[in-house]
Amino acid sequence: MEDKYSEAREPLEAALAQYSAIGDQQGTAACLQSLGGILCRECKHSEAREKLEDALAWYTANRDQLGRAQCLWSLGDILRMEDKYSEAKEPLEAALAQYNAIGDQQGTAACLQSLGGMLHREHKYSDAREKLEDALAWYTANRDQLGRAQCLWSLGDILQMEEKYSEARKPLAAALAQYSAIGDRQGRAVCLQSLGGILRREHKY
C-alpha cells in the first residue's frame, strides 16, 4: 500500500509458502491476490492474471463475495489497460454486480470508474459520462481525492473530445486543483496538457 512493491514481494511470497505448507487455502488466496495486485501495478499483466485467476477460483468455490469481486475487478482492469475492451466488460460488470450485492460502495465506485474509462476510450461518451458521474458522486462524498481527480479529468476530456470547450474547462480545472493538492505530478501534467489543448483550439495562443 506504500507502493514499495519490490520490498513487499518477499514477505508476501514467504506468507504464500507458509499458507500453502499448512494447507490454509484462504490465506493462500489472499496472498495470491496481493501478489497479483503488485504485478498488475508493475505492468506484468500475464503474471498478475495467473495469480488473480487462481485466487478467483478459490473465492468463487468458497462463496467469498468480496474476494471474488476484487479479483474480477482487477482482472477486468488489466484487460482494460491492455485495450481489450470487449473482454474487459464481462469481469468488470460481474464485479460491479457483486459489489452492489454486498453493498460495497467503494468497490462499486471503482468499477463504475473503470467501465466509464473504457466507454470513454470507445467513444461512447453518454454511457461513459453516466458511470463516471456516479463514481464522482461517491468519491466526492467520501473525500477520495485521487478518485475524484481522475473522474473529473475523464469527464473534462470527454467534453473536450465533443468540442464543448467552455464546459470542459471547469472539470479539468477542478481536476488540476485536486491533483495539485495531493501532489500528483503526473495527473497535474495530464490536466495542463488537456487545458493547453483547449486553449490552442480556441486560438488563445
**Residue ranges covered by each domain of the chain:** 117-205
CB neighbours of 56 closer than 8 A, spacing ≥ 6? 67, 68, 71, 72, 75
pLDDT < 70: residue spans in the chain? none
| CA separation for the pair 70, 81 (Å, rounded) | 16
pLDDT at 62: 95
Fold (CATH) for 117-205: 1.25.40
Which set of grid coordinates corresponds to residue 138? Answer: 461517491
pLDDT at 3: 85
Which set of grid coordinates corresponds to residue 120? Answer: 470513454
pTM of the model: 0.86
pLDDT at 73: 96
> Please, are residues 77 and 58 in contact by the beta-carbon 8 Å criterion?
no
Q: Tens digit of pLDDT for each residue in 53-65?
A: 999 999 999 999 9
* One-letter identity of residue 139: Y
Q: Angle CA(50)–CA(122)–CA(80) in degrees, nearest 5?
A: 15
Per residue, the 3-state secondary structure of 101-127, as one string, reads HHCCHHHHHHHHHHHHHHHHHCCCHHH
Q: Tens digit of pLDDT for each residue in 19-42?
A: 999 999 999 999 999 999 999 989
pLDDT at 35: 96
pLDDT at 1: 87
Burial label for 24, CB within 10 Å (0-12, 13-18, 19+), is middle
| CA separation for the pair 184, 59 (Å, rounded) | 34
